[in-house]
Amino acid sequence: MKNIFALLFPLLLLYASCKKPELCQDIENPACENYDPCYSAFETNAEFIVSDWTRPGDIPLPFRDTIPLVTSIRVDFRVADRNMSRYEWKIGDDPRVFTDTMFFLTFENVSGWINFSLTTYNDKADSTCFPGDNGKKTVNKAYYFKRYTASTDEEYIAPYPIFGTYLGANEGSPQDTFRITIHWINIGGFLCIRNLPDGCNGICENSIFNTHYFAAYEPLPPHQDDLLCASPNKIFAELLSDNRTLHIDYETTQNGERIKRKWVGVKL
């Protein structure tokens, strides 16, 4: 028996010496072959979002470049990147400097162009990973505050290009076109999207909108019989910058499961 172990021991040593070592795969460890010194670095970013006020829990609807108002409007400001060290906002002629990542202001009886500016400071800026990044960046955006009256439906919807009738189809079924209408009914204050899904009367509850967006979240609970017109659970419509092309992401409940669809159309 001792002779057998004496013969096997050198073989075990040989096997151990030939076994490949486990590769180090820690991308943040300088000793590993896949080490990336820029993996944890981030570029200085001063992008920000200007959005309409929405109910708590709703997705904020961003403004493009025009902010309609009758007398006053609340506007929300949010940074796009919370990794920066410090933030400095300048809003029009307001002498204050705002330093929060998110805040809101109420604009009253204003009209014309107002400039919004955000300067960010990044104490961890890395010019090796991001050449030219000195840790400070400023972004300026100008928005046009457009006054309007709202005594009639026509006057109310005039500043909002999202309203109108569109012809299009669900992705995957380009030949099966149908019309969709987004409109406002002043009597009762109803905001509706008609004929979504195809053949349905419309959804007029729990809807929000601004110039280029329309959204309805859980407007109706899934119907126990999975009736198509009672099942839309989520609708998010975006009018593109050409003011003609409309994209709608929506969900319906069928056979107890939520089905996601995307509709694309053009304003008539």
| Domain C-terminal end among 120, 147, 174 | 147
Distance (Å, whole) CA 217 – CA 227 = 18
Sign, Cα dihedral of 76, 80, 84, 89 = negative
- Identify whether 124 is part of a domain: yes
Query: Do 212 and 254 have their domain in common?
Result: yes
- Identify whether 23 is part of a domain: no
Distance (Å, whole) CA 63 – CA 209 = 10
Is the pLDDT confidence value at 212 over 50? yes
Residue 226 — pLDDT band, cuts 50, 70, 90? very low
Query: Do 226 and 254 have their domain in common?
Result: yes
CATH number at residue 181: 2.40.128
Task: Please write the tens of the pLDDT for every residue from 65-82.
Answer: 999 988 899 999 999 999
Query: Do 130 and 207 have their domain in common?
Result: no
Structure pTM? 0.76
Query: Do 100 and 160 have their domain in common?
Result: no
Is the pLDDT confidence value at 225 over 70? no
Distance (Å, whole) CA 88 – CA 57 = 27
Residue 223's domain comprises 153-267
| Total number of domains in the chain | 2
DSSP per position, 185-239:
ETTTTEEEEESSSTT---B-SSEEE-SSEEEEESSSPPPTT--GGG---EEEEEE
- Identify whether 73 is part of a domain: yes
Task: Please write the tens of the pLDDT for every residue from 11-41.
Answer: 555 554 555 556 787 787 888 888 888 888 9
Distance (Å, whole) CA 227 – CA 229 = 6
Query: In the chain, pLDDT over 70 holds for what percent of residues?
Result: 78
Task: Please write the tens of the pLDDT for every residue from 155-191.
Answer: 777 788 999 999 999 999 989 999 999 887 655 556 7
Query: Do 159 and 125 have their domain in common?
Result: no
Query: Do 108 and 132 have their domain in common?
Result: yes
- Identify whether 228 is part of a domain: yes
Distance (Å, whole) CA 190 – CA 108 = 25
Query: Do 196 and 219 have their domain in common?
Result: yes
| Domain C-terminal end among 122, 147, 172 | 147
Distance (Å, whole) CA 82 – CA 105 = 20
